[in-house]
Amino acid sequence: MHWKERASIEKITIKEIAELAGVNKATVSRVLNGNANISARTRDKVMEIVKRHNYVPNALAKGLASNRTYTVGFCYDYTEKQAVSNPFFQTVLQGVEDVVYARNFLFLMMSMQRDQLAHSSFAKVVTERRIDGVLVPTQLFTEATHRLLRQEGMPFVVVGEPMISQPDVHWVDIDNVQASEKLTRRLLDQGLGDVRIVYDEADKVRDKFVLDRIEGYKRAMGASRLKPREATLPQVEEAFVGEAETVPQALIFSTESLLFDWLDTAASYPQAHSIRLATFDRSPFHRHMKYAVEAIEIELEAMGTEAADMLFALIDKNELAQPYIKIPSK
């Protein structure tokens, strides 16, 4: 059995339905698409046949005729092999899926390596018009990406606040300032005074959320009239070799990977065990880790649903109520 025959198994078309119902193709099409001007009688007759023969529209033909694919894309970073396994990623994805499937759309995942736009499946999908819109994580939203999207007239929403904001770029993110402020306050409320925030130099330049988390931390510290102290991981470690430095009571890691890096080295310092650890994005692994980790629930799933909703607004009406959305932590 060749694929050509295989693919035509039992697939009834709109034309055959029309013949069976004794009406025209166009009429069937109208019934199927809920067109208003149809007599109840013909509608029922057509629907009966549709049901009985288990008619399923051909998505390709429909797309070709209507210039729509009924598919949205989700682009993910393939540079870091762990991107997909990232709980962050997958929770957002879940929110997206709920919305996408509720709309009866499909969902095309595309990988893209940073700085490899030209050969990515992302570029291919966009230029071939296999999607009606796309969600792009902020890490992948470069100048080149933006240019391609705009040039192709492809609706898009950035997931995560882009570093440089532009008027025609719509995005959704959690409110990192608020989340960080809240997390910091939670530690302070536990009686800890010397709370510091740890960041990575490279991240700080590239990721807006790192800046925001530092900012939120500062606000909470300021509100308690405490001196904020931000540091890179190496700087924190100096506290254990130098003598003048005091050991912090708690460390807030601006990213989870920093926390992991810390765990790798902390074992060398006995004093490190008493430090309270905190980060964002609670993960199911936390409770199995060497030390207890304080984490704040951030609304990742909501981020996915909001992003998808924005994208559909763009696809449907080509306009947005708000240019961007910040989701506060509860």
Partner DNA sequence: CTGTTAGCGCGTTCAG
Partner DNA sequence: CTGAACGCGCTAACAG
Among 20, 22, 21, 42, which Cα is nearest to 31's?
42
Q: How many residues bind a second copy (CB under 8 A)?
A: 65
Q: Which residues 254-283 are close enough to bind a second copy by CB under 8 A?
A: 260, 263-264
Site string for a second copy, 177-196 (x = CB under 8 A): --------------------
Smallest distance from a second copy to CB 295, Å: 14
The contacts found for 122-129 with CB under 8 angstroms, 24 or more apart, are 122/73, 122/75, 123/148, 125/73, 126/73, 126/152, 126/154, 127/152, 129/69
Residue from 20, 38, 47, 231 that binds DNA (CB under 7 A)? 38
Q: What is the CA radius of gyration of the chain?
A: 26
How many whole angstroms separate alpha carbon 184 and alpha carbon 329? 13
Residue 100, class by beta-carbon neighbours within 10 Å (0-12 exposed, 13-18 middle, 19+ buried)? buried
Residue from 33, 101, 190, 274 that binds a second copy (CB under 8 A)? 101
190 binds, among a second copy, DNA, none (CB under 5 to 8 A by kind): none
Residue 33 is a binding residue for DNA (CB under 7 A): yes
The stretch among 15-23, 72-80, 105-113, 293-301 that binds DNA (CB under 7 A) is 15-23
Residue from 2, 34, 39, 246 that binds DNA (CB under 7 A)? 39
Question: 21-52: buried (b, 16+ CB within 10 Å) or exposed (e) per residue?
Answer: bebeeebbbbbbeeeeeeeeebeebbbebbee
25 binds, among a second copy, DNA, none (CB under 5 to 8 A by kind): DNA
Residue 85 is a binding residue for a second copy (CB under 8 A): yes
How many whole angstroms separate alpha carbon 187 and alpha carbon 199? 18
How many whole angstroms separate alpha carbon 143 and alpha carbon 152? 14
Residue 167 is a binding residue for a second copy (CB under 8 A): no
How many whole angstroms separate alpha carbon 102 and alpha carbon 115? 34
Smallest distance from DNA to CB 62, Å: 4
Q: Which residues 59-88 are close enough to bind DNA by CB under 7 A?
A: 61-62, 64-66
Q: Take residue 134 and report the two structure tokens written for it.
A: 């796309």
Q: Take residue 308 and report the two structure tokens written for it.
A: 């998808």
| Amino acid letter, residue 295 | A
| DSSP H or E stretch at residue 295 | strand 293-296
Residue from 52, 58, 109, 289 that binds DNA (CB under 7 A)? 58
Residue 77 is a binding residue for a second copy (CB under 8 A): no
Q: How many residues bind DNA (CB under 7 A)?
A: 29
> At CA 109, angle to CA 302 and CA 165, rounded to 5?
55
| Cβ nearer to DNA, comparing 62 with 229 | 62
Residue 104 is a binding residue for DNA (CB under 7 A): no
Report the first-to-last Cα separation within the chain, whole angstroms.
57
Question: Would you say how long the chain is, in residues?
Answer: 330
Smallest distance from DNA to CB 320, Å: 23
Residue from 29, 42, 79, 121 that binds a second copy (CB under 8 A)? 121
The number of CA neighbours under 13 Å toward the Cβ of 225 is 0
Residue 12 is a binding residue for a second copy (CB under 8 A): no
Positions in the binding site for DNA (CB under 7 A) = 8, 11, 13-15, 22-27, 29-30, 32-33, 36-39, 41-43, 57-58, 61-62, 64-66
Positions in the binding site for a second copy (CB under 8 A) = 1-4, 6-11, 56-61, 63-64, 67-69, 78, 81-82, 84-87, 89-91, 93-94, 97, 101, 104, 106-111, 121, 124-125, 127-130, 132, 151-153, 155, 260, 263-264, 284-285, 287-290, 315, 318
